[in-house]
Amino acid sequence: MANRAIIYAIYPNKIQEEQCRKTFGCCRFVHNQMLTIQQERYKNGEKHLSKFQANTYCNQHLKKEYLFLKEVDKFALTHAVYHLEDGYDRFFKHLSRFPRYKSKHKAKKSYTTNFTNGNIAVGDDYVKLPKLGRVKAKIHRKPEEGWKIKSATITQNRDGTYQVSILFEYIADTVSAFAVTEDTAVGLDYKSDGLYTDSNGETCGMPHYYRDSAKRLAKAQRKLKHKTVGSNNYKKQQKRIARLHRHVANQRKDFLQKGSTAIAKRYDHVCVEDLNMKAMSNKGFGNGKATLDNGYGMFLKMLDYKLEEKGGSLVKVSKWFPSSQTCSCCGALHPEMKDLSIRTMRCSCGCKIDRDYNAAINIKKEGLRLLSA
């Protein structure tokens, strides 16, 4: 079995919007209440409640004490409890910090509900949701025959628009792994001024969407500075800024989806470096804005699942592998290539090659070695 989500833009009416706001608020309220209860139990030396025990406490105590919780979808509150417990699990495993209280103004406005008795459905121009009924939607794609709905996540974006992500379960077709050959594999080296250079010498020129919109964003943020905090005009300007940011994010995502699809169709095995993009985007590295604008980490995630679906693979070479310092012709090491200002490698064997092209060739060779091993 496999899962896949499809995101639809939805356009709720005023009554449906009010119900969504109630659900967002109730989920936030339950999260904060259960976080307080767990902290009090810890201080009193009591055992931490599991997610099932916490959900039972919510149903038997919180809903009786706060009757407004019965006005919203019960599955949304259950997921709010489960998400808090997921936060605790990540904290205990040292994967994230301690769960925090959610603020009305800063917390993400989203909730998840489960499918039961046909309460979620996708029509020609609508999506049926619990407590909301039929919500007008842009159905750009319909699920394939045999796909079963598991859950739906309703989200209000910062710019005031709504979307729903519907999770489907289906039986995945069994695909056989492709044979590893030179022609069906490619190496990609990350390129800050662009996106990547491949082992065939081709360079992907990534448009700098954020930099292109920087002037408009700066102008909109200057206007926000001169408005009274909390006023209606302040909130309207905040939405304008959020709309600009979302437009940039959508542009980037669209480019990366098309680029990753093109590579996945052309090659069966893609070799890349396992880079720490968060570390590369820090101030000390000098090109943090370009690194974040490229979205290279998102690009690799897209490549990974698209290659896996067709029977291919994404091979990650260790970030300590000296791809830029090794001559792709004779294998000689050139420590001077640690200096990023040197853009061309010159080797004693007579090889003169661009550093990114050279690195991509070495990444492909190392990736093929790992695949054969």
Q: What are the two backbone dihedrals, phi and then psi, of residue 318, each rounded to the nearest 5 degrees?
A: -55, 140
Edge-to-edge strands, sheet with 162-170: 109-114, 148-156, 162-170, 2-11, 133-138, 126-129, 121-122
Nearest Cα residue to 308 out of 275, 264, 271: 264
DSSP category for residue 268 = S
Query: Looking at residue 42, what is its pLDDT?
Result: 94
Q: What are the two backbone dihedrals, phi and then psi, of residue 313, each rounded to the nearest 5 degrees?
A: -155, 150
Paired tokens of 29: 């309220």
For 143, 162, 167, 178, the CA distances from 124, given in Å and listed in that order, are: 12, 18, 18, 38
Residues catalogued as catalytic: 183, 273, 356
Q: What are the two backbone dihedrals, phi and then psi, of residue 155, each rounded to the nearest 5 degrees?
A: -135, 135
Query: Looking at residue 209, what is its pLDDT?
Result: 92
What is the C-alpha separation between 109 and 102, in angstroms, rounded? 10
Query: Looking at residue 150, what is its pLDDT?
Result: 96
Mode of pairing for the β-strands spanning 269-273 and 313-317: parallel
Query: Looking at residue 330, what is its pLDDT?
Result: 87
Query: Cβ contacts of residue 263 below 8 Å, gap of 6+?
Result: 186, 270, 303
Nearest Cα residue to 31 out of 123, 121, 109: 109
Query: Cβ contacts of residue 91 below 8 Å, gap of 6+?
Result: 97, 98, 99
What is the C-alpha separation between 85 and 99, in angstroms, rounded? 9
Query: Cβ contacts of residue 368 below 8 Å, gap of 6+?
Result: 180, 182, 185, 269, 271
What is the C-alpha separation between 164 and 59, in angstroms, rounded? 26
Query: Looking at residue 172, what is its pLDDT?
Result: 80
pLDDT mean values, one per 10 residues, the chain (373 residues): 92 96 96 96 93 94 94 95 95 94 93 94 95 95 92 95 95 77 90 88 89 93 93 94 94 94 93 87 74 88 91 91 89 87 88 91 92 83
